[in-house]
Amino acid sequence: GRVYLGRSPGGKPVAVKVIHPHLAGDPQFRRRFDQEIAAARRVGGVHTAQVVDAGTDADPPWLVTEYIAGPSLQEAVGEHGPLSAEAVAGLGAGLAEGLQAVHERGVVHRDLKPGNVLLAQDGPRIIDFGIARALDATSQTTRTSIVGTPGFMSPEQFRGREVGRASDVFCLAAVLAFAATGRRPFGEGPMEALGYRVVNEDPDLAGVPESLLPLIAAGLAKDPDDRPGLGAFLERCSALVEGGEPPLPDAVTTMIATRVAETAALVPAPGGTRRLRLPAARGHAPALAAAAAGVLVIASALWAIADGRDEPDTSGTAAVQATPTRTP
């Protein structure tokens, strides 16, 4: 599948996620996609990407969300190195606040990682609720399936045990350790090796600022009951941020500004575009959320999302007007 940059009828940038047909035919993938949209609708807030519209049972399925113009934490640290102690504290405060909102709406993310944290001009955003679960879910996948991203999974995820709020706390601590050091706290390697380290060994926190070390170490406790709550992260990180949100490194700020400028340049005026027909969901009203009917899609800077990988698409640039159409 692909994610397209687009523009809503009101002129705001949006992301249009269209699922590849071969994945759309997989019942298990369909369930996960439905689950992602349901979770994203429940948690829409200041630190997440708002859902604009979706065709969950369309062929192929699609999802339109707010577009966040900014690099991922993975990109920023990979290109420009670890963040300062103050910037990590600001990041921690924003992510803790976002996760609190997610949990208050009865959802646990289960896949918080540097690639799922976007650095925007107004603060960090949490994206990709593809494996999120409702906290009141009783499905076997909640307790017995191993889901997540190795290197940023909690011990209970590796053990296939019940995953709750404390698992997101562990992932948050791992993400902050990465932001502060540029390294995964449990190193690299195959899933089996990472799983053993996460469950049995202490994390490598060399380079984590002293001001954040006790908090991050506690967040990486093996026992979920031994981890602090998100309130403790928010309180401590906020206390370390003096005079408002600390500035990110100049190079990262430039990355964000560049993404914003590129987005503005890529989204042209609606006149003179041709139409791309987005299939409507079965049983969906013809109005199909007028937002989707007017989405302007720019087929450039596309990212392949099939097979769990993010790869650039080099298919070129074309502006099209997205219009839903019924499927048989």
Q: Where are the domains of the chain?
A: 2-69+263-325, 82-248
For the 82-248 domain, the top CATH level (class) is mainly alpha
- Report d(CA 206, CA 86) in Å as an integer: 17
For the 2-69+263-325 domain, the top CATH level (class) is alpha beta
HSE of 254 in the Cβ direction (CA atoms, 13 Å)? 5
Instruction: Please tell me the predicted confidence (pLDDT) of residue 278.
Output: 56
- Report d(CA 75, CA 312) in Å as an integer: 14
- Report d(CA 114, CA 187) in Å as an integer: 14
Q: Which residues contact 33 (CB under 8 A, 6 or more apart)?
A: 19, 56, 61, 63, 130
Q: Active-site residues: which are they? A: 111
3-state secondary structure of 19: coil
Instruction: Please tell me the predicted confidence (pLDDT) of residue 131.
Output: 52
Gyration radius from the chain CA atoms: 20
- Report d(CA 213, CA 230) in Å as an integer: 16
- DSSP assigned state of 176: H
Instruction: Please tell me the predicted confidence (pLDDT) of residue 1.
Output: 65
Q: Which residues contact 126 (CB under 8 A, 6 or more apart)?
A: 47, 48, 95, 98, 99, 102, 109, 112, 116, 117
Question: What's the maximum distance between 2 C-alpha atoms anywhere in the chain?
Answer: 61
How does pLDDT run along the chain (328 residues), one tens digit per residue? 678 888 777 778 888 888 888 887 888 888 878 877 887 787 777 788 888 888 888 888 888 888 899 999 999 999 999 999 999 999 999 999 999 988 988 888 889 999 999 999 989 999 887 555 554 443 434 444 556 788 999 999 999 888 899 999 999 999 999 999 999 999 999 999 999 999 999 999 999 999 999 999 999 999 999 999 999 999 999 999 876 666 789 999 999 999 999 888 877 655 544 444 555 555 443 223 333 334 555 443 333 322 233 333 323 322 333 333 333 3
Instruction: Please tell me the predicted confidence (pLDDT) of residue 327.
Output: 31
